[in-house]
């Protein structure tokens, strides 16, 4: 399953430049310490905890644990085939991120809550790098 192309804008440029170097960024508020990731495709520097405009991009370790996951079969000409596994992961720094899972040894039903994952990046043709999470 390929990922949809991701395009940059001024607000996402710093995140995407780091992604191109294999580094996942998250935002940490310099006022209250709250850690967050932008949601809904809208990149803002306003802290969702204290409301100040002081959430600065910070490198994440790339380590995460699995919170939840789902997978739906994809319809094909011959019937269906397993679809991508979408995981909700908690970064070691605290923010949660939803993205595709890679490197799974078995079926999605064999995954365990709390399983360790680490960030990787994929770059579909014509796209910026997109974070995915790899088992282990």
Query: Which residues lie near Zn ion (CB under 5 A)?
Result: 29, 31-32, 34, 47, 49-50
Distance of CA 124 to the CA centre of its chain: 15
Backbone angles phi, psi at 15, to 5 degrees: -60, -45
Q: Write down the least CB distance from residue 101 to Zn ion, Å.
A: 30
Q: Write down the least CB distance from residue 13 to Zn ion, Å.
A: 23
Taking the C-alpha atoms of 123, 4, 128 and 107 in order, what is their torsion angle to the nearest 10 degrees?
Answer: -40
Contact 20, 115 (CB under 8 A): no
Nearer to Zn ion, 47 or 104 (CB): 47
Q: Where are the beta strands (DSSP E) in 1-136?
A: 25-29, 35-36, 55-59, 63-71, 74-76, 79-81, 85-91, 96-102, 116-122, 130-135
Nearer to Zn ion, 14 or 49 (CB): 49
Q: Write down the least CB distance from residue 29 to Zn ion, Å.
A: 3
Q: Write down the least CB distance from residue 55 to Zn ion, Å.
A: 7
Nearer to Zn ion, 20 or 31 (CB): 31
Nearer to Zn ion, 45 or 65 (CB): 45
């Amino acid at each position: 399953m390929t990922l949809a192309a991701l395009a940059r804008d001024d607000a996402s440029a710093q995140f995407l430049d780091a992604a191109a170097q294999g580094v996942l960024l998250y935002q940490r508020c310099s006022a209250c310490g709250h850690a967050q990731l932008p949601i809904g495709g809208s990149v803002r520097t306003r802290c969702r905890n204290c409301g100040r405009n002081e959430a600065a991009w910070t490198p994440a370790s790339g380590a995460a644990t699995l919170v939840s996951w789902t997978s739906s079969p994809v319809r094909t000409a011959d019937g269906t085939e397993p679809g991508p596994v979408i995981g909700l992961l908690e970064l070691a720094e605290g923010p949660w991120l939803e993205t595709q899972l890679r490197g799974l040894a078995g079926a999605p039903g064999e995954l365990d809550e709390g399983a360790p994952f680490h960030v990787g990046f994929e770059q579909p043709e014509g796209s910026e790098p997109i974070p995915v999470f790899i088992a282990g």
